[in-house]
Structures are given as C-alpha cells and as structure tokens.
Amino acid sequence: MIYKKQTLLTILMLVFLIVSLVQATPTYHLPYNTLIRNGTKVHFGGYWIYTTGTDALITAWFESGWTNITVYGSGTQQIYNGSKPNSVYLNGVNKTEGDGWSYSSGTITITGATSSASLLSETPTPPPPPPSAGFNLYFQTNGKLAFQHLSVPWETKGATITLTVASGTLNGTSGTLAMYPTSGTLTFTALENGAITLTSTSNGTTFHVNGEVATSASLVNGQSYTLEWSFLEPEFLLPIMFILGMFGLGSMFGGPIYGIYKVKHGEYYEGFKTGLVITVLGVALTIAWLWGA
C-alpha cells in the first residue's frame, strides 16, 4: 500500500512539472536582430522563429535572400515564413531536405544544426526587416506603452509593465526590447525632453533607470536610457533567509548545550557526534543568512 501511494505521488509530481513547463514556455514579440532564448518563439510581423534545446541568434533575416542563424548546441529550430528555401546550409554544409531539415505547410524545421544554419530563398516573402539601428518610439503626454509578461510563475494572470509619459513627449530612436519570464529591458535615445513613469501590476517589481533604482525619469534630448524591470517572488510570512538565520543561531548554541547534556549522562559518542553536527549546521546557516543580508 505504501509503495502504491509513493508511485501515485511521483506520477502526480511529474504531471505537475510537465504542466508547469508547458505553461512557462514564453512567446515574445521582439526586434529581429536579437538572441532568442531556448524555448522561446519570436514573431517578425506575420512570421516567427521558435527554438528549443539551445539559444539561437538571428544574424540575418532575408538579407539578399539569406536567413542566417547561429546556435550554441544541438536542438530544434522552426521557422515559419510561408516559403520553402532553395538551399539550406547546416554547420557550413549544404544539406538536402530530409538531412537535418524538413519543410511542411510553410514551416521549416531544422534538427541538424549544432553551430549555424543558413537558408537561401530567391524571392524573399517576408516584409523588409526594421533598420539595424532599432525601432522608434513616439508617445505624447499621457500616452502609455505596456509590456505584458504572460508567464510570471507566481502571477496567475501574468504581469504588465506600463510606461506613462508624464509630461512632454517620449520621442525615441535606436530602441531595443528584451523580455524574459521575470524581467525585461527597454533601451532608446531621447530626441526630445520629457518625463516618464513606470508602474507594474505585480507587487515587488524593481525598476532601474540607467542602473539606478527609480520608477520615473526625466528625458533629455540626445541622452540614451536603459529601463530595466524585474519581478520579485513574494515571500509569505517571514522571509526564508531570516528563518534559516534564526534556526542557525539556535543551532549554534543548541549544539554545544545538547552535547554537554549527553556527556553528563555518559553518552560521550552521541554527545560529541550530534552536538558537532548541530553546531556546524548552525554556523553554516548563520553565515548564509549574513552573507545574503
């Protein structure tokens, strides 16, 4: 009976883990010249690229018909652009269909790339890529720009970061955007003076403006800005490190007391062994607590 209960519990834990991983697979809409993280789908207009098993870096997107991808190990990349490539080079070697790659219903699936993949199409079907310098931003007073994170693990409805133009105009150029499950970064160069504020629907969100903790910024014409945000998992009741620290302090004093008690009752080995273990554990937890404070 105990064995069956353990087996059932193990199966339930595996199911929960699989569901969690599926729910945590993010989908982001990013500028094309960027690093695509493992397990991420990136959209380029009506087309997309998905990579799993390894990160992938897009170094060319239909430039003179070429799409070039750098990968960092074995994995699978899927590219949806509605057209079958004329040539596919995997790790610098020209490959025929079925040898490391396949095509079906507008989607190219690559499984044989361990360092690079290059696809050549005579007639590029996707729209022209944005300028390599990045995208532009233009929002007037009270204008808002929102970034939605759908896969923050402890937020059932996800979390939304909102940038609001408090005064003046957010007129920016050379913009870049990177979004991850629990953080994000927006960079741009201001072309006009103005002021912005940053808010979040998730409690405990930390904002940085050019490396400094801040929830607002005054924009100066010609100056570059890096806006960063990260979601902090809420700590229920007492912080876990504080609890471990208190337990460590108690163990530091409790270990010797326990050892002395056992020695007085003639249990020398038990007193020395258990007292030493408790004391060492207490010292380690206390150091960890102070180190993380």
Going by C-beta distance under 8 Å and a sequence separation of 6 or more, which residues neighbour residue 69? Answer: 49, 56, 57, 58, 59, 77, 110, 113, 116, 117, 118
Same domain? For 156 and 103 the reply is no
CA 224/CA 35 separation, integer angstroms: 22
Same domain? For 218 and 248 the reply is no
Same domain? For 213 and 263 the reply is no
Same domain? For 210 and 285 the reply is no
Asked if the model's pLDDT at residue 3 lies above 70, the reply is no
Same domain? For 69 and 17 the reply is yes
If pLDDT is split at 50, 70 and 90, which confidence band does 265 have? confident
Helices 268-292 and 240-264, axial angle in degrees (round to 10): 160
CA 293/CA 289 separation, integer angstroms: 6
Asked if the model's pLDDT at residue 172 lies above 60, the reply is yes
**Residues 239-256: what's their mean pLDDT?**
80
Three-state DSSP at 20 gives helix
Per-residue model confidence (pLDDT) at position 103: 92
Same domain? For 21 and 116 the reply is yes
pLDDT (tens digit per residue) in 122-153: 654 444 444 445 788 999 999 999 988 877 76
- Placement of tokens 């050892």 in the chain: 259
Verdict on whether the full-model pTM lies above 0.85? no
Per-residue model confidence (pLDDT) at position 75: 93
Instruction: Judge whether 163 lies within some domain.
Output: yes
Same domain? For 145 and 215 the reply is yes
Angle at 99 between CA 94 and CA 104, to 5 degrees: 105
Per-residue model confidence (pLDDT) at position 83: 80
**Residues 215-232: what's their mean pLDDT?**
92
Domain at 87, CATH number = 2.60.40
Instruction: Judge whether 6 lies within some domain.
Output: no
Same domain? For 140 and 221 the reply is yes
Instruction: Judge whether 125 lies within some domain.
Output: no
Which span out of 29-33, 57-61, 198-202, 240-244 was modeled with the highest average pLDDT? 198-202
Same domain? For 216 and 284 the reply is no
DSSP secondary structure letter of residue 127? P
Strand partners, 172: 137, 190
Instruction: Judge whether 128 lies within some domain.
Output: no
Instruction: Judge whether 45 lies within some domain.
Output: yes
Q: Which of 212, 230, 248 is the C-terminal boundary of a domain?
A: 230
CA 54/CA 74 separation, integer angstroms: 7
- Our count of domains for the chain comes to 3
Query: Among 52, 107, 117, which Cα is nearest to 83's?
Result: 107
pLDDT (tens digit per residue) in 13-33: 544 444 444 444 444 344 445
Same domain? For 97 and 51 the reply is yes
- φ/ψ of 257, rounded to 5, equals -65, -45
Query: Among 183, 150, 148, which Cα is nearest to 24's?
Result: 150
Per-residue tokens: 101: 């790659």
Strand partners, 110: 77, 101
Q: Which of 120, 153, 182 is the C-terminal boundary of a domain?
A: 120
Instruction: Judge whether 5 lies within some domain.
Output: no
Same domain? For 62 and 163 the reply is no
Q: Which of 58, 85, 120 is the C-terminal boundary of a domain?
A: 120
Domain residues for 200?
135-230
Same domain? For 32 and 93 the reply is yes
If pLDDT is split at 50, 70 and 90, which confidence band does 44 have? low
- Least confident interval from 14-23, 60-69, 117-126, 248-257: 14-23
Instruction: Judge whether 155 lies within some domain.
Output: yes
Which has more confidence, 101 or 289? 101
Query: Among 258, 252, 285, which Cα is nearest to 272's?
Result: 258
Tabulate helix, strand, coil % of the chain (nearest 5): 25, 40, 35
Instruction: Judge whether 235 lies within some domain.
Output: no
pLDDT (tens digit per residue) in 179-221: 887 788 999 999 999 999 999 988 878 999 999 999 999 999 9
Per-residue model confidence (pLDDT) at position 101: 95
**Residues 55-74: what's their mean pLDDT?**
84
Going by C-beta distance under 8 Å and a sequence separation of 6 or more, which residues neighbour residue 185? Answer: 176, 177, 178, 226, 227, 228, 229
